[in-house]
Amino acid sequence: MDPATAALCDALQQHGCVTPALVIDVERAAANIAAMIRWLGDAARWRPHVKTVKQSRIVALLLDAGVRSFKCATLPELALVLRTATQADIGVDVVLAHPLPPARVPELVALARRFPSARVGLVADAPDALAAWPAEADALALWLDVDLGMHRTGCAPAVWSAWLRSAAAAGRRVVGLQGYEGHLGWDDRAAAHAAYDALCGLAREIDGLQVVLTSGSHGFAHARAHAGLREGPWQHQIGAGTLVLSDLASARPAAALGVVPAAFVAARVIAAPQADRITLDAGSKAITPDRGPPSCAVLGYPGLQPQRASEEHLPLVVSAPPVPPRDAIVLLVPDHVCTTVNLHREAIYVAGARILGTGAIEAAGREPPLPHARVPA
């Protein structure tokens, strides 16, 4: 184990850290943000998805670096960005990129009106979804969700093209297109460029289009290299947010940019049931609940192989020394940082081996299921 990791684990132990706990190195996160902006060449080309970070401390780092455009999936994430930007007296452009039920559109509009210095957009999943929006939606910037082959949300370019020529589109001003190619990876350049060609074809049909948004954290290099996206009359933006904190799954793009893991889960050795096994207290309720084993890596212990986690336990097979002793704290690098952050309500902020304090992860978890009514139990 390197000295810095050992020193941080010792500091957490000395402070009586209750495990499992989310640990975020803010210096590393700031360096990752700077690396992403350098690689893109301009902060204006980045619209990071805040579902990764979900906390004002990291949103503030993005604002400090010059990022002014954001993407989010929930109203709490949207409110988080708007509050943080307003406190910093910074105007931002935020798009809610997840389909929103028509009944909640007035709620979104009311939230947007509380922050008049910000521009708030809403993505339409399909023409029929757009038709169901109430009149209040006209106060929001209109985006269209374009299915580039992932077949999860949105419509194919041809469907939106037909809508643009229909009477239903008359008078509608489309501000942005979202084309998420999450099914494509670091090596899928040809398929990605074919998808971008179709996206640009649709974009050219929209007078006054301002933004074309693409890319998560596994294919954005293809988007940056695509001439049509880069040279169009619109602003091309990339939505990759994972690389702010990084994780195992994004190791290849992270290496290309010089990004390093900035988020960890502190876990404790609670058992050693066999000579070749130990157990940590960070199960699926603490780290990467959406991935199979290995869901993480143990920093500084390459001979520990994570097995399938249960809710509270993470068993590891020991293939080579060293092995941490019982009650030792270790740091886990998650395979998927977004779902890991969402499991926690507070983070421990560090800078190297220094513990800076703690802070709330304000937009973590789920929204109240009946936010507008109190129903007796």
Radius of gyration of the chain (CA): 22
CA distances to 1, 176, 183, 236 from 226, in Å: 41, 18, 18, 10
- What pLDDT sits at residue 377? 66
Whether 274 contacts 301, CB under 8 Å: no
Residue-range domain boundaries for the chain: 3-24+258-360, 27-242
Q: Residue 207 contacts by C-beta under 8 Å, 6 or more apart in sequence? A: none
Whether 209 contacts 174, CB under 8 Å: yes
- What pLDDT sits at residue 74? 97
- What pLDDT sits at residue 131? 96
Whether 247 contacts 336, CB under 8 Å: yes
CA distances to 63, 173, 183, 229, 231 from 159, in Å: 36, 17, 20, 20, 24
- Burial string for 334-361 (b: 16+ CB within 10 Å, else e) reads bbbbbbbbbbbeebbbbeebebeeebeb
CATH architecture of 3-24+258-360: Beta Barrel (2.40)
Residue 372 has phi, psi (to 5 degrees) of -110, 10
Extract the tokens encoding 271: 């058992």
Q: For the chain, count helices (H), then strands (E).
A: 12, 16
CA distances to 22, 181, 218, 272, 288 from 310, in Å: 18, 32, 28, 16, 12
Per-residue pLDDT of the chain (377 residues; tens, 9 = 90+): 789 999 999 999 999 999 999 999 999 999 999 999 999 999 999 999 999 999 999 999 999 999 999 999 999 999 999 999 999 999 999 999 999 999 999 999 999 999 999 999 999 999 999 999 999 999 999 999 999 999 999 999 999 999 999 999 999 999 999 999 999 999 999 999 999 999 999 999 999 999 999 998 888 999 999 999 999 999 999 999 999 999 999 999 999 999 999 999 999 999 999 999 999 999 999 999 999 999 999 999 999 999 999 999 999 999 999 999 999 999 999 999 999 999 999 999 999 999 999 999 999 998 888 877 766 76
Neighbours of 134 (CB within 10 A): 12
Q: How far apart are the first and last CA of the chain?
A: 51
CATH architecture of 27-242: Alpha-Beta Barrel (3.20)
